Structure 1
Amino acid sequence: MKKYSLIKKFEEYENEFRKISKSIIQPNIISDQKKYKILLKKYLKLEKIVSLHKEYNKKIVLLQEANFILKNDSDQELKEFASIEKEKILENFSFFEKEFSNLTSSFSEEKTIEGEDERNAIVELRSGTGGDEACLFVEDILRMYTMYFKKSGWKYKIIHAQKGKVKGYKEIILDVNGEEEVYGSLKFESGVHRVQRIPKTESQGRVHTSAITVAVLPKVKDIEVNINLSDIKKDTFRSSGAGGQHVNKTESAVRLTHLPSKITVECQEGRSQHKNFEKAISVLRSKIYQIEKEKKLKEISIQRKSLVSTGDRSVKIRTYNYPKSRVTDHRIHKSFHDLAGFMNGNIQEMINVLKIFEKKK
């Protein structure tokens, strides 16, 4: 890291420190414990960087003094002493660079994740093993979530939907928006949801096991994830969903493929190709953000708070047992015996337990 670059970066963090120093003493912040704790944590992190900056500035002054002596003083002994001091100071700069990098990488990562719970969310439901029964269960879980959204005062829009062959959905993607902690509550839903019940198509009354996958992504802004349009392959096709005479007349549906990551996103819910494109880009941005976040976590060896919010789709997180009217979350080994109520959107108690479990870790 070049010296002028390091000075500039130090100054940026010091400016942020000054802003937080002023805002943290404001009555409206002090009275809001949630905001106060977040700002205090940032303040303490930045304070370490500011302290390092002060030490760094002292070394800069000493280096300038040594250079002045070497250039202007005629005393050979003093010049030799200044030369030795200069070498020591230059060696110290590598320590400052390393220490600055350690402090800011940790601070930057926490800064990225810290406010994540407050974000809105993209929710994807996909049928897994079980054929038509899995598609029906996607529809049941969709109903469960939309009822929960209503109880929470959140709004949602369907971005993309692919119907099953008989009933239900093979895949459905939602854009969920609310006042607070949308992603912070829904992130626990990521993973495999398994259902054990007698399918409507089963004539002999045997219990079948099917599964669907749920992925919850934090919604991100365009300034957070820069997507080059040259990296995107855009395909248009005719919508296969509801829309009356509009269906199959215009190619309003959009499929985007992000070539570097091979991520594909579809949107066909709107009548406007432009609006479908915007929705698809929003989902694509969230997916890329999630991948980059996972990479950063691995690179700096930060472990997640707990296994309850890994977001790993391959992890079996919950079983819905209809014959026994029981729903079990396998991460916390807890069962609820009111499956009907749970499927009617009464999932807040489960989410609260998962939040407590996460904090304990």
Structure 2
Amino acid sequence: MLEKLELVEKRFGELEEALAQGDLYADPEKAARLLKEQKELTPVVEAYRAWRRTQKDMEDAQELMHSEEGEMRELCQAEFEESKDRLEELEQQIRLLLLPKDENDDKNVIVEIRGGVGGEEAALFAHSLFRMYSMYAERKRYTVEVLSSNETELGGIKEISFEVRGAGAFSRFKFESGTHRVQRVPETESSGRIHTSAATVAVLPEAEEVEVQIDPGDLQIDTYRSGGAGGQHVNKTESAIRITHLPTGLVVECQDERSQHKNRDRAMKILRTKLYEMQQQALDKERASERRSQVGSGDRSERVRTYNYPQGRVTDHRIGLTLHRLDAVLDGDLDEIIDALIAADQAEKLRTGTEE
């Protein structure tokens, strides 16, 4: 690890020298690239320099312990122990900083929620999840834009796709993929029996055009009239869009906007993101030797969390975390769960990295 840190510090010095050259900024792209690299290396270099200072303090205190007596020796002993504890903290911090970064962490995300088993009750739960994520995004100062939705007459959601935009959005949402289960008494249930229903969530990093090249010849684009439940606006023009990507068979529909052009743009955004996800999954299979986090694979068939209304609790099954504040969680207070999932993911990566 020390060799790697020395190389990082050397590279950091080279970046400082390069960025001090005035003529560098004649090439804005290169300057931006070097500034980004410097920003990424700064926390590692700062932690490494703090580690070296603490190591020196510990060695000095140990040396004085052997030459001093009485109260002075006790002070040196206390300083030695304090430096030793700090050194261990810094080593752990550095290990985390050196973990491979998820290249998607800073990207915007597209979230898809679908009502699963449970009919109308599942659709109402899907709406609750959408509300929860929207409120969480607001807390993090992200913006949310609905890309497509299919609502029920009772206010539930059969399926919805929405974009969350903001720095680090994917890093905060990526562990939400999977099956979310709810246990509650439906309003339509006269006998007061608790029902269990579910909704599936998929979280996809938004793909840029440069990352996914789509041949227009591979697309079949159909237009149709859109309509909604419960007296919603029904278009008299064919503004809804259905795009089929012929090589993969992926089908994307968008009918939320009255403008055919806007629906087409949104549908292309979703298609591009889904194709990017397929590419990433193919890469993951190729890297069979690379271990994946045990926190969750992101498979929508995997049960990740249960929301129990009668007991007012939320349980994340991947890490065994139970919180008895269901209302706060459903109002978007998700940081405790997400922070715990990130910590578990980091711990697993550290463990597997040590084994390998």
Please, what TM-score do these two structures have when normalized by structure 2?
0.70
Change (3 A) 1:153 1:302: farther
CA contact (8 A) 1:320 1:339 kept: yes
- Say if 2:167 is the partner of 1:175: no
Q: Distance in 2 between matches of 1:271 and 1:247?
A: 9
Instruction: Identify the match of residue 119 of structure 1 among 107, 115, 124.
Output: 107
CA contact (8 A) 1:241 1:268 kept: no
CA contact (8 A) 1:161 1:172 kept: yes
Report the secondary structure of 1:144's partner residue.
helix
- Say if 2:40 is the partner of 1:35: yes
User: 1:24, CA displacement in angstroms?
Assistant: 6.0
Could you tell me which amino acid in structure 2 is paired with residue 144 of structure 1?
M
User: 1:300, CA displacement in angstroms?
Assistant: 2.4
Q: Distance in 2 between matches of 1:244 and 1:227?
A: 37
- Say if 2:168 is the partner of 1:146: no
Alignment correspondent of 1:193: 180
For these two proteins, the number of residue pairs brought into alignment is 273
The answer for unaligned runs of 5 or more in structure 1 is 1-18, 41-109
The within-5 A match list for 1:97-246 is: 114-178=102-166, 180-241=167-228
Alignment correspondent of 2:344: 357
Alignment correspondent of 1:47: none
CA contact (8 A) 1:327 1:335 kept: yes
Q: Distance in 2 between matches of 1:356 and 1:165?
A: 41
Report the secondary structure of 1:214's partner residue.
strand
Q: Distance in 2 between matches of 1:34 and 1:349?
A: 27
Deviations, residues 201-227 of structure 1 (Å, cap 9, x unaligned): 111100000000000000011110011
- Say if 2:10 is the partner of 1:23: no
Could you tell me which amino acid in structure 1 is paired with residue 258 of structure 2?
R
Could you tell me which amino acid in structure 1 is paired with residue 307 of structure 2?
Y
User: 1:309, CA displacement in angstroms?
Assistant: 4.3
- Say if 2:260 is the partner of 1:273: yes
CA contact (8 A) 1:161 1:269 kept: yes
CA contact (8 A) 2:15 2:38 kept: no
How much is the aligned-residue C-alpha RMSD, in angstroms?
3.0
User: 1:247, CA displacement in angstroms?
Assistant: 2.5
Q: Distance in 2 between matches of 1:347 and 1:123?
A: 16
Alignment correspondent of 1:294: 281
Moved more, 195-204 or 266-275: 266-275
Could you tell me which amino acid in structure 1 is paired with residue 158 of structure 2?
K
Change (3 A) 1:22 1:276: farther
User: 1:231, CA displacement in angstroms?
Assistant: 1.3
CA contact (8 A) 1:132 1:165 kept: no
Change (3 A) 1:31 1:169: closer
Deviations, residues 284-340 of structure 1 (Å, cap 9, x unaligned): 111111111111111122545413242211100000011110100010011110001
The answer for unaligned runs of 5 or more in structure 2 is 1-10, 21-31, 46-98, 349-356
- Say if 2:256 is the partner of 1:264: no
User: 1:191, CA displacement in angstroms?
Assistant: 0.3
Deviations, residues 8-41 of structure 1 (Å, cap 9, x unaligned): xxxxxxxxxxx9884366589899986116999x
Report the secondary structure of 1:288's partner residue.
helix
Q: Distance in 2 between matches of 1:352 and 1:151?
A: 15
CA contact (8 A) 1:24 1:39 kept: no
Q: Distance in 1 between matches of 2:172 and 2:202?
A: 13
CA contact (8 A) 2:148 2:161 kept: yes
Please, what TM-score do these two structures have when normalized by structure 1?
0.69
CA contact (8 A) 1:241 1:269 kept: no
Q: Distance in 2 between matches of 1:30 and 1:252?
A: 44
Q: Distance in 2 between matches of 1:345 and 1:210?
A: 21
